[in-house]
Amino acid sequence: DAGVTQSPTHLIKTRGQQVTLRCSPKSGHDTVSWYQQALGQGPQFIFQYYEEEERQRGNFPDRFSGHQFPNYSSELNVNALLLGDSALYLCASSLARQHSNQPQHFGDGTRLSIL
């Protein structure tokens, strides 16, 4: 049973560049969430995708955008990179159920370094 997979594992970019991170959800899951984890901090919610639409967003600027594909996989795009965007980016998947909050399962993340 494949868990959440993310690619790439590491990435180095320079300020002002753009980056795309990818995520495949756990088998059977249809919902994908993205989190940013700075060093020594807990993950911060960026947004969640369900049925190919963003259905909730955290306190992140529009430079952060995403996409979900019909096979439930997802991409996170970040434009105009800043030094402060250096972090571990985590993808989490879950199964949408009406009237019930389902647990989120995380991948191992993409470590993004901005020079």
Partner 1 sequence: QKEVEQDPGPLSVPEGAIVSLNCTYSNSAFQYFMWYRQYSRKGPELLMYTYSSGNKEDGRFTAQVDKSSKYISLFIRDSQPSDSATYLCAMTGAGSYQLTFGKGTKLSVIP
Work out whether 66 is an interface residue with partner 1 (CB under 8 A).
Answer: no
Work out whether 41 is an interface residue with partner 1 (CB under 8 A).
Answer: yes
Work out whether 44 is an interface residue with partner 1 (CB under 8 A).
Answer: yes
Site for partner 1 in 67-96 (CB under 8 A): 90, 92
Given the complex with partner 1, which of 5 and 65 has the nearer CB atom? 5
Work out whether 55 is an interface residue with partner 1 (CB under 8 A).
Answer: yes
93 and 31 Cβ atoms separated by less than 8 Å: yes
The residue with tokens 């997802």 is 74
